[in-house]
Amino acid sequence: MNWLTNFVRPKLRALVARKETPENLWLKCPKCEQMLFMRDWEANQEVCTHCGHHMRIRPLKRLPHLFDEGKYELHPLPKVPADPLKFRDTERYDARLKKAQAKAEGSTDALVVASGLMGNRMTVIAALDFGFMGGSMGTAVGEGLVMAAETAVARKAPLIVFSASGGARMQEGILSLMQLTRTTIAVRKVKEAGLPYIVVLTDPTTGGVSASFAMLGDIHLAEPDAIIGFAGPRVIQDTIRQELPEGFQRSEYLLEHGMVDTVVHRHKLRETLIRMVTLLMDPLVVA
Ligand SMILES: [Zn+2]
């Protein structure tokens, strides 16, 4: 303890701290490690302005770029019993949920359902939110997807799903696994009504979501370089005891192997979706 440590050092620290750039002004691209000015990056739909890397964008940031004039109606998720198993790991599940909800700008779970005009046609979009507990699918997400499918059928509208998920919500045990069948039946209703069901696979789409509604689209689009698969590469490598090929489980690899129909840049998604829905709903009749 002396005058230097007690007095000079805190003063110096305060001086240095004040000159630091605010944290939320810049961010580093995880791919090319270039610094990005936050405002430019947001205006670019969260795609790196240097290397084109597509970062994980939350639904409420994505939706305005899809609907006509950025206008849409949000459909609140149906109410479901919170924490039916009274689950607890390092933290109580209901506490985890509340924390995620506080950060989610109004959404109550890992799915956002919206409807509005897209290319002047009523369209329903259901987008999973990886930022909300890893986009995991529990009862609320399942119910939300059923509601989205029913809304599409009632309004004779196409259903577009943006997938981004780590899989089933472990904290809901068997109830989360039941959503695999429920969502499968829900999207079948859309197909039976003769309406297009299109899936846009985004980074990452894995586990129970890729094992159900995310792989059942009439057409599968994917954002560039997204991880798409069921189990992670390390699990597969350890099971089959073989080196996995380069780019395994990435959008471009899946396109080459016939699992994805096309890989689309985020900036081109709106026009591509409008074109596909038009081709499916208003086919030209050749006399
Ligand atoms: Zn980059």
- Confidence grade of residue 285 (pLDDT, cut at 50, 70, 90): low
Is residue 21 predicted with pLDDT exceeding 60?
Answer: no
Residue 232 has a pLDDT of: 83
pLDDT at 84: 92
Distance from Cα 22 to the centre of ligand 1, integer Å = 21
User: What pLDDT, on a 0 to 100 scale, did the predictor assign at position 105?
Assistant: 82
Identify the residue with better confidence: 12 or 137: 137
Q: What is the pLDDT of residue 204?
A: 96
User: What separation in Å is there between the alpha carbon of 248 and the centre of ligand 1?
Assistant: 21
Sequence-distant (6+) residues with CB within 8 A of 143 are: 77, 78, 80
pLDDT computed for residue 24 by the predictor: 78
What are the tens digits of pLDDT across the range 208-248? Answer: 999 999 999 999 999 999 999 999 888 899 999 999 998 99
Express as a percent the part of the chain with pLDDT over 70.
91
Ligand 1 geometric centre to CA of 172 (Å): 37
Joined together, the tokens standing for residue 21 give: 């750039």
Alpha helices in 82-232 (DSSP H): 93-102, 139-154, 173-192, 207-210
Buried b or exposed e, range 42-57, using 16+ CB within 10 angstroms: eeebbbbeeebbbbeb
**Ligand 1 centroid distance, CA of 53 (Å):** 5
User: Among residues of the chain, what percentage have pLDDT more than 90?
Assistant: 85
The answer, yes or no, to whether residue 287 has pLDDT greater than 60, is no
The alpha carbon of 54 and the centre of ligand 1 are apart by a number of angstroms equal to 8
Which pLDDT belongs to residue 233?
A: 83
| Angle of the 139-154 helix axis to the 173-192 helix axis, nearest 10 | 10
How remote is the CA of residue 50 from the centroid of ligand 1, in Å? 5
Q: Is the pLDDT of residue 15 over 80?
A: no
pLDDT tens digits for range 169-202: 999 999 999 999 999 999 999 999 999 999 999 9
* Average pLDDT of span 245-271: 96
Please tell me the least confidently modeled range out of 51-65, 153-167, 188-202, 271-285: 271-285
Is the pLDDT at 142 greater than 90, yes or no?
yes
Q: For residue 227, how far is its CA from the centre of ligand 1 (angstroms)?
A: 17
For residue 132, the CA-to-ligand 1 centroid distance in Å is 24
Over 90: is that where the pLDDT of 133 sits? yes
Give the pLDDT confidence of 47-77 residue by residue, as tens digits. 999 999 999 999 999 999 999 999 999 999 9
Tell me the three state secondary structure of residue 78.
coil
CA of 4 to the centre of ligand 1 (A): 43
pTM of the complete model: 0.89
DSSP code of 127?
E
Examine the pLDDT at 14 and tell me if it is beyond 70: no
pLDDT for 76 equals 97
How many angstroms separate the alpha carbon of residue 28 from the centre of ligand 1?
A: 8
pLDDT for res 200: 98
Q: How far is the CA of 30 from the centre of ligand 1 (A)?
A: 7
Q: Cα of 284 to ligand 1 centre, how many Å?
A: 41
